[in-house]
A and B are shown apart, each in its own frame.
Chain A
Amino acid sequence: MKSRKRKLAVLKNGRGRLAASSAVFAVVGLGAAAAHAHGFVGDRFFPPTIATDDPFATDELLFPSVSYFKSADSPPIGTTDIGFEFDKEIFPKFALGISGDWLNLAQAGQPSASGWDDFSLSAKYQLWENVPHEAIFSVGAEWDIGGSGSKEVGADPTSTFTPTIYFGKGFGDLPNALEYARPFALTGTLGEDLPTSAEPNNLEWGLALEYSLPYLQSQVKDIGLPAPFKDMIPLVEFSFTSPENRDGGETTGTINPGVLYEGEYFQIGAEAIVPVNNASGHDVGAIVQLQIYIDDIWPKVFGYPILGK
C-alpha cells in the first residue's frame, strides 16, 4: 500500500500523463501486500487477510489477487491490480517474502498505462505467542525496491523501508456467558514508512476484525450450519495511511467488508473497497484473492523452515 502511493505520486508529478493522487495507492496496494498461509495459535486458526497483513511467518503463495478501484481524481483513475506474493519460512518463525503487482491505469481522455509496479521484499519474525489467550506478536520490515518496476505506471525510482509490528488476538478465552463472541478475532499492523527520498513519512496502520464460523461450529456450538457457510469467515478490514510531514496531506484509507471461504487447499476471499473520505477514492471498488495452501498441497516441500526445526 505504502509503495503504491509513492509510485503514483511520481507518475503525477514527474510525467503528468495521468493525474494520480496519494489516495490511489492507499487502496490499490491491497493486491499482494497481505495474506499468509496457515497461521495457528493453539486452537485458533487466523486466516490470511486481504487488505492488512497478518502476524504469521509461514510458507504461502498468494496468486492471483485482482482488484479494481477508482482514485479521488477528477476524472478518476481506474486502477486494475493483479498481484502475487510468495513467502518462505527460512528458520523457525522467520520468513522472507517477495511480492509484485501488475497495474493497468486508465483515465478518461488519457491513454492507459500498464506495467509492473516496484517489487517488494519482506521479512517477518514471530516474536511472542500466548496459546491459551490465542495471542501473537510479530515484527518485520518491508523493502519496496525503488526502480524495479515500470515507469509507465509511475513505479517509484527510490526505495522505501517500512519496519512494522503485527499482532493477533482471538477471543476464545472469553467466558461462557459470552460464548457467541468467542469466534471473534482481531489482527492488526502498525508500520512507519522510511523513504530514501524527500517523500513524506507515513504511518501505515490497519485492523482486521473477523468472525470465524468454523470456530463457532467446532469450538463453541454446532448450530448446524450447512456448507458452504460453515467454512466462511466474514470480516471487515480497515486500512489507513497517515502522512506525518512534508505536506503529505490528510489521512486516507478504506474500510473493506467481505468474506473468506476456507477450502481444504485454498482460501478464496472477496471484499468491497470503501473509501473513507473524498481524498481516499471514488466509488466502491472490489478485490478478489486466491490463497493457495502450498503446505497442504506439497507437504514434503512446504510448511517447514529451510534451516532448523
Chain B
Amino acid sequence: MKIILKIMKTNSIQRWSLICAVFLALQSTAWAHAFLDHAEPKVGSTVTNSPAEVKIWFTQELEPAFSSIEVQNAQGKEVDKKDVHVDAKDKSLLEVSLPQLPAGTYTVAWHVVSVDTHRTQGHFEFTVK
C-alpha cells in the first residue's frame, strides 16, 4: 500500500483526480437514465383494497409523450383507464388510473424516456386481496 500512497502524491495522479472532479461536477448540468425509484402500490406488494391508481416515481424527469404505464390482469388484458400522464407538479411521477379491481395479481409494465431521451423499461406485480 505504500506504493499506492507514493503514487497518489505524484503530480500525475493529482491531475487525474482533478479531471475526475471535473467530470463529476458536470453532473449538475446533465440528466441521466430514468430508473424506478418507488411505486404505489409498492413493487411486489399485496394490498387489501383496490388502488385508485398506479403511481411510479422515477429518478429523473420524464418526457410525457414517450412515457407510458400499462396494467394487466393475470390473463394479460389491460385493465387501466388508459389515462397515463406525468404529474403536472412532479415531472418524475408517472401515473395511471384504475377501475375497481377484483382480487388477483396484476402486472405493471412501464416504458419511459427521460428528458435527455434515454429509454428505460421495466415491470412489476402487485396483488389485490
| A221 to B36 CA separation, bound complex (whole angstroms) | 12
Interface members, chain B 20-49 (any A CB < 8 Å)? 20, 23-24, 26-27, 30-33, 35-39, 42-45
Residues of B within 8 A of A64 (CB): 16, 20
Decide if A293 touches B16 in the complex (CB within 8 Å): no
**B121's contact among A42, A214, A221, by CB below 8 Å, is which?**
A42
The residue on A at minimum CB distance from B3 is: A80
The residue on A at minimum CB distance from B58 is: A218
B104 CB to nearest A CB, Å: 14
Does A217 reach chain B (CB closer than 8 Å)? Answer: yes
Residues of B within 8 A of A220 (CB): 43-44, 124
B118 CB to nearest A CB, Å: 7
Does B59 reach chain A (CB closer than 8 Å)? Answer: yes
Does A190 reach chain B (CB closer than 8 Å)? Answer: no
Does B4 reach chain A (CB closer than 8 Å)? Answer: yes
Does A128 reach chain B (CB closer than 8 Å)? Answer: no
Decide if A218 touches B36 in the complex (CB within 8 Å): yes
Does A264 reach chain B (CB closer than 8 Å)? Answer: yes
Decide if A299 touches B117 in the complex (CB within 8 Å): yes
The residue on A at minimum CB distance from B59 is: A264
Chain B contributes a number of interface residues (CB within 8 A of A) equal to 36
For the residues of A in contact with B, the DSSP-based class is mixed
Decide if B124 touches A218 in the complex (CB within 8 Å): yes
The residue on B at minimum CB distance from A294 is: B23
The residue on A at minimum CB distance from B45 is: A222
Decide if B39 touches A222 in the complex (CB within 8 Å): yes
Residues of B within 8 A of A82 (CB): 7, 13, 16
The residue on A at minimum CB distance from B56 is: A218
| Interchain Cβ contacts within 8 Å, total number | 90
| A222 to B123 CA separation, bound complex (whole angstroms) | 13
The residue on B at minimum CB distance from A38 is: B33
Chain B proximity mask over A247-267: 1 for CB below 8 Å, otherwise 0: 000000000000000001110
Q: How large is the interface on A (under 10, 10 to 19, 20 to 34, 35 or more residues)?
A: 35 or more
| A244 to B46 CA separation, bound complex (whole angstroms) | 55
| A220 to B36 CA separation, bound complex (whole angstroms) | 12
Can you offer 17 A-B residue contacts whose CB atoms are under 8 A? A40-B120, A63-B16, A63-B19, A179-B44, A218-B124, A219-B43, A219-B122, A219-B123, A220-B124, A222-B38, A264-B27, A264-B59, A266-B23, A266-B24, A296-B31, A297-B27, A299-B31
Beyond A78-B3, A179-B44, A296-B30, list 13 extra A-B contacts (CB 8 Å).
A42-B121, A43-B122, A45-B35, A63-B19, A64-B20, A68-B3, A82-B13, A106-B3, A218-B124, A220-B44, A221-B43, A266-B24, A299-B118
User: Which residues of A does B touch, CB under 8 Å?
Assistant: 38, 40, 42-43, 45, 63-64, 66, 68, 78, 80, 82, 104, 106, 112, 176, 179, 214, 217-222, 264-266, 290, 292-293, 295-299, 303
Which 9 pairs of residues, A with B, have the shortest CB-CB distance?
Answer: A221-B44, A218-B36, A299-B116, A296-B32, A222-B43, A264-B32, A222-B42, A43-B122, A297-B30
